Structure 1
Amino acid sequence: MADAPKEIRLAECENLIKQIRDVISVNIVLGDNKEIEEIHILAEDTRNAKQLVRDVETLLRVEYGLDLDHKKISVVQLKNEQKLLQDKRVKFTAIQYSLQGSQLEALVELTSDKRSCQGKSCGVNSSSNRLRLFAEATLNALNDFLDSGTTVFLEDVVQYPMGRRNMISAALTYMQGPSEEYLVGSALIKQDEKEAVVRATLDAINRRIPIDI
């Protein structure tokens, strides 16, 4: 009798797939039964996408005893010039928080291809305010990446159900000189709502900020 498939630990599995040659980033979607529903891969275009899919299938079979339908694996490949733009985007690298009585201090670290910056925000640790603190810490970290005359501030951040999953959306106002733009970003809550807040905030702003490289 064949062994039962090994339990999928999301972060561990994503990190393993990232070790495959040419893979840049991975997003795995699990169903309610904790089985893999979808795998989305961002990769360089130096190899055929079908070969990348076969590599993922082999890894899952060897590491987890799982035979996954190749139709559940999607691959997007970046050309060299797209890869350069991807490398220059601000990325989320760390999140921390501390509690003292009813006060929560959120700390978020963001990194570009050349430097890292940290942002903090402190306030009441209420269910309605907690998400705002992590969004504000993210924007405070972004300040060091912005050109002079550019300002980004938080309008709102909310959590809501979508289908069988929960989402975070962040609404921002982006001002550069006299111009003003309303931005909205969203992120799926995988395991931690705090990380989803950071990712939703970056989803809104990451393609628009003029990064000081």
Structure 2
Amino acid sequence: MENIKENLSEEIKNLICKLPDIKHCSVVCSQDNVVEEIHALAGVSRNIKQLVRDIQSAINARFGINIDYKVISIAQIDESDFKETRLKLDGISVNNIENSIEATVTLKYDDKLFEGKSRRIKSRSNKLKAIADATLLALEGYLDIGQAFYLEDMQIVLVANRELFACVIGFALGGKEELLSGCSIINADENETVVKAVLSAVNRKISTMS
């Protein structure tokens, strides 16, 4: 791979961010200014192979540099799911109860409210998990089903120099089980971000059930 000038990493980043469906991007170079990693956060309207080809073609056309597809990593996030659904976040509360933490999440559909509560041993990670659990319980209330969703895992991941909550939600009903994934960019209100990550994981599923 060709060496590039020091300022090209920023220029490549700016170029990639102008491509369709790309939301954020970071470019990592070696001490010799060789492109080693390209991380991009994108929407879901284009598949990953097409996004990779777009990035390769744009860099080659603009700078004459051939980029190996192996250095390009792309994460996709469907922010439209949360915006399009009529199921909205109405409120979140977190209370300390002795050595426990209780999270309450209220979702709203038209003029109806659906509340979920979850309690865990007090810790920061458990607070976030309790919020996720409460969100799933509220969803089950909305769908009028019981014990179908569960939190498989939730982690903070770094993509394009932005922190995201990424979660995997399990769904088990009628003898069938599947895993659903979602994520949301962390903003000033991390509690709300957890709810959005959970909703991004399950929105497609609940749209087929509601």
SS at structure 2 position matched to 1:191? coil
User: Match of 1:163, as an amino acid?
Assistant: A
SS at structure 2 position matched to 1:118? strand
Q: Deviations over 1:184-204 (max 9, x none)?
A: 010011112111111000000
| Cα distance in 1 between the residues matched to 2:196 and 2:177 | 22
**Where does residue 171 of structure 1 map in the other structure?**
168
* Maintained 8 Å contact 2:106/2:138: yes
1:118–1:148 distance in 2 versus 1, CA, 3 Å = closer
TM-superposed CA distance for 1:175, in Å, is 2.3
**Where does residue 132 of structure 2 map in the other structure?**
135
TM-superposed CA distance for 1:154, in Å, is 1.1
**Where does residue 99 of structure 1 map in the other structure?**
96
TM-superposed CA distance for 1:169, in Å, is 1.1
1:191–1:149 distance in 2 versus 1, CA, 3 Å = closer
Match of 1:189 among 181, 186, 193: 186
> How high is the sequence identity, in percent, across the aligned residues?
35
* Maintained 8 Å contact 1:139/1:152: yes
Q: TM-score, normalised by structure 2?
A: 0.55
Q: Which has the larger radius of gyration?
A: 2
SS at structure 1 position matched to 2:193? helix
SS at structure 1 position matched to 2:205? coil
* Maintained 8 Å contact 2:157/2:163: yes
| Cα distance in 2 between the residues matched to 1:149 and 1:125 | 26
**Where does residue 84 of structure 2 map in the other structure?**
86
Q: Any unmatched runs of 5+ in structure 2?
A: 1-22, 25-79
1:137–1:148 distance in 2 versus 1, CA, 3 Å = closer
TM-superposed CA distance for 1:164, in Å, is 2.2
Structure 1 residue runs of 4 or more that deviate by more than 3 Å after TM superposition? 147-150
**Residues 123-162 of structure 1 correspond to what in structure 2 (within 5 A)?**
123-148=120-145, 151-162=148-159
**Where does residue 51 of structure 1 map in the other structure?**
none
Q: Deviations over 1:109-134 (max 9, x none)?
A: 01112411111111112133221111
Matched residues, number: 130
TM-superposed CA distance for 1:150, in Å, is 7.4
Q: Any unmatched runs of 5+ in structure 1?
A: 1-28, 31-77, 79-84
SS at structure 1 position matched to 2:130? helix
Q: TM-score, normalised by structure 1?
A: 0.54
TM-superposed CA distance for 1:180, in Å, is 1.8
SS at structure 2 position matched to 1:207? helix
**Residues 21-36 of structure 1 correspond to what in structure 2 (within 5 A)?**
none
| Cα distance in 2 between the residues matched to 1:183 and 1:137 | 17
Aligned-pair Cα RMSD in Å: 2.7
